[in-house]
Structure 1
C-alpha cells in the first residue's frame, strides 16, 4: 500500500514499518532498522561503522537526512532524521543474518520494481503530453504566421506578438531536438565568400587587443594548436570538406578555439570574437533586415556552454550553434 512517497511494509509475523520511497530507493531510520532485524542499537551502530571503515559503501550515497513530521500530543513536530538506503539495509541484513532481513529484501525489491515501472509509465505519459502540446503550439503559430502573410493585421502590436511567437517556436523546436539528440544540419550556406587564414586570424586578434586592451599574455600563443584549429575547419577527405558549409566551419572554429586553450589568456573572448569575425567576413552575421542572427547574450551563453561541455559532446555542441545561425534565423 502506498501513501505519497511512503510504503508500508508488513512482515509475515505482522511487523509493520513505514518505509520512505525516494530517489529510486528505500530509506529507513536506524530505529526502523533495529526494529526490522530485531537487533540492538549497539549492534546496528557497530555494523554501520564497519561498513564505512571497510569502504563497503559510500556515506554520502547511502545516508541522508529526510524531513519527517510527527504528531506529538496536540502539535506536529518537524525534524530531520538520518535515513539509510536499501544498499545499507541489505549490508546490515547480511551481517545480522536474520530471516526478517531476507523477507524484507524480497519485499523491497518487488516494491522498487513496481515503483520504477509506475514512474517510468508516468514520465512517458507526461512526455507524450508535452510533445503533443509543443506540436499544437508550433502548428498554431504556423497558422497564425500564414494568416499574417496573407492578411496583415492592422495592429503593429498584434503583428509583433505573432512574430515573437514564431521565433520562439523555432527555439523550442531546437531545444526539443537537442533533448532527443535529433538535431540536424539544415539551411546552411555551402559557398564561402571568405577563407580564413592563420595570418588573417592573428591580425584580427591583435586588432582586438589594441581596441579593447588586455594583459601582455592576451593572444599569446602557447603552441601550434591555433594554427591547427584554422587548418582543421578547412580539412577535406577525398576532395570533400569535413565541414562543408560556412555555418559548420564557424561553429567548429568557435569550439576548437574555446577547447584547445591555444592562448595564454583570453581564449573564450578570442573564440567568440573570431566566430563573429568569420561570420561577418562571409556575410552571414546579419539578417537581411540588418539585425544580428545571434544575440550577444546568446553568444556568451554558447561560448560558456562549450567551455563546460564534455569532449564527447562536441558534435551536439556544434549542431546547436549551427541551428542558431542557419538560414532559418
Structure 2
C-alpha cells in the first residue's frame, strides 16, 4: 500500500508542476527527488546538481552569489525538511524553491543547463506571442495544482455535463478549464472559430453553414427543420432557421452527443488522475476523438460562409412564413374548432 501511495504522490507531483517538470521529464531525469511542500516545488543542492548535470560545488557557488547579489533572498527560497538517508536515518536537509532552481539554471555552464535555458526561453516566447501567462495568480503565489484544484475542476466538469448548453458550447466550456486558458490567445481564437464546424463536418460531412444551405427549403415540411424552439406545435420563427443543429436528423444528433460525452468522460478521468490539461491538449484531443470515431477532420473553413447561409435561410423563411401563417393553428384556434364541433355535431 505504501508503494502505491508513493507512486501516486510522485505522479501527482509530476502532473502538478506542469512546465518545470515537463523539462525534467524531457531531459530523462525521472529519478530526481522533487518535494512539494506548502504549494511549492523544492530540490536539494544534490537534486539541482543532478538536474543540470554539474558538481554540487557549482550549485553551492551559484546559490551563494544569487543570495549575495540580492537576486533572491535566502529566507524566501530555502527551507529545511526531514528526509530519510540511505542509511535509514532521518536528517534535516536544505531544500531550495523553484525561483532559486531557475536562477541557478541561468548561471550554470553545462549542456543540460543550456537545454534548460533554451527551454525556458522558448516557453517565455510562446507566452509572449500567444498573449497568455500560465495561471498568473498561481505562479505569483508559488502554488501548484493540488488536490483542491482538481476537486474543484471535477465539480466544474460535472456542471458542464449537466448544463443545457449546445454540444459545441460544452466542448468550449471544457476547453476553458485549461490551466493556461486565455481568451486572447491564438490557440483559443482558432479553436473557438472551428469547433462547431469540425463537429458538424465529422457527423454529416458539411460545415454548419453548408448544412443550412443544403437543407433549408421553404417548400419542405417545417422548412426542413427537425427541431425549433417551440416544437412540435409552435410556430417556427426567424431565429430558428439559422441554427444548424435544428436541421440535423436524430442519428446525427445522437452521434454528436456521443462525441461530447466522450470528451467529458475524458476530462473527468484526467482530473481524477490529477493531470492538468493545456489549451493545446484540449484542441488536439478534439481531433483525436473525431478520428477515433472514424470521422474526417475538417481542413478548411468550408465552401459557404455563415453570413451567406444565414441570409439564404432567412430568405427561405420569408417564403415559408406565408405558407405557415395560412396553415398554422394556435391553441386558441384548436380550442374553438373543438368547441364548435362539440356544439354542432354532424
Query: Is TM > 0.5 for Structure 1 vs Structure 2?
Result: no
TM-score by length of 1: 0.31
Which structure has greater helix proportion? 2
Higher relative contact order by CA 8 Å / sep ≥ 6: 1 or 2?
2
Whichever structure has more strand as a proportion of its residues is: 1
